[in-house]
């Protein structure tokens, strides 16, 4: 029995849900760096999709619409799957009692809402890579908006879920750090997304391209933040936190 328990513990440590945000963030930053380094190495070339507007800084999608399109599609697809599975993993592990459990139906609804937002955003990311900006400009922009809106919905749902969850588990520092990290991401991404839209509308493409690259890099950090949520499950067992489900907050918010 001890051997089985030890083997299970080792398996949870090395084959666990926390690998999804890790793999997703590595693949995504690798994709961005592959696109950026290639563009710089080629001497910052002008792409057909950049148009006659005097744009000199390429958008992520400008580079991803050229010969590196297979890399862009592959990276976007893997990242999307890992993003959704990271959220689903947190929901499943809370349900199984291997993470701090949800304490109300509202928290569960917010969790499911964040997963739905992630699915919407992930579909948008895959489709914006497939329908590139050079050949399908309008569709590409629609799916870019879908991606941004989906991620924002997902982030907001997660933040609200964690805020309500933290009220019942005030001693969990990891949960508090994760909540504020995701809240900071939501605020910054929302501000940058609005800025990006305004810059696009006024055809300030060089500034818009810079904002887009920043948004892309920030998404890597957001994915990594789910490690804070999922790592504790490597040392827990099913039902371990079930008895904490009805624990009241130590100090209720005023």
pLDDT, position 240: 54
b/e burial code for range 59-69 (CB count within 10 A of at least 16 → b): bbbbbbbbebb
pLDDT, position 7: 46
Q: Say what the pTM is.
A: 0.84
Mean pLDDT value of segment 159-181: 81
pLDDT, position 85: 94
Mean pLDDT value of segment 27-37: 96
Question: Measuring CA to CA, which residue among 197, 195, 177 is closest to residue 187?
Answer: 195
Question: What pLDDT, in 10s, does the model give residues 240-254?
Answer: 556 554 444 444 433
Which range, 2-16, 112-126, 198-212, has the best average confidence (pLDDT)? 112-126
Question: What pLDDT, in 10s, does the model give residues 49-74?
Answer: 887 777 889 999 999 998 899 999 99
CA distance 152 to 132: 22
CA distances from 39 to 32, 54, 205 (A): 11, 17, 17
CA distance 116 to 226: 16
Alpha helices in the chain (DSSP H): 2-14, 19-41, 60-64, 69-95, 105-130, 137-166, 173-201, 205-224, 226-230
CA distance 83 to 55: 32
Whether residue 102 is predicted with pLDDT greater than 90 in this model: the reply is no
């Amino acid at each position: 029995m001890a051997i089985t328990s030890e083997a299970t513990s080792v398996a949870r440590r090395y084959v666990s849900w926390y690998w999804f945000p890790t793999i997703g963030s590595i693949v995504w930053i690798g994709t961005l760096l592959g696109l950026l380094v290639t563009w710089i190495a080629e001497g910052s070339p002008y792409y057909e999709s950049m148009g006659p507007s005097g744009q000199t800084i390429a958008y992520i999608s400008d580079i991803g619409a050229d010969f590196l399109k297979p890399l862009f599609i592959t990276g976007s697809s893997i990242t999307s799957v890992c993003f959704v599975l990271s959220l689903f993993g947190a929901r499943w592990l809370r349900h199984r009692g291997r993470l701090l459990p949800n304490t109300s139906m509202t928290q569960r609804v917010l969790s499911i809402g964040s997963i739905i937002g992630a699915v919407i955003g992930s579909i948008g990311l895959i489709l914006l890579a497939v329908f590139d900006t050079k050949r399908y400009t309008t569709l590409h922009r629609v799916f870019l908006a879908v991606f941004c809106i989906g991620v924002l919905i997902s982030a907001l749902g997660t933040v609200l879920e964690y805020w309500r969850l933290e009220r019942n588990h005030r001693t969990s520092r990891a949960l508090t750090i994760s909540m504020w990290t995701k809240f900071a991401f939501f605020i910054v991404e929302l501000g940058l997304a609005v800025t990006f839209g305004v810059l696009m509308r006024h055809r300030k493409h060089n500034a818009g391209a810079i904002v887009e690259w920043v948004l892309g890099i920030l998404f890597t950090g957001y994915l990594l933040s789910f490690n804070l949520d999922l790592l504790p499950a490597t040392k827990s067992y099913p039902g371990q936190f079930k008895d904490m489900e009805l624990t009241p907050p130590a100090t209720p918010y005023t």
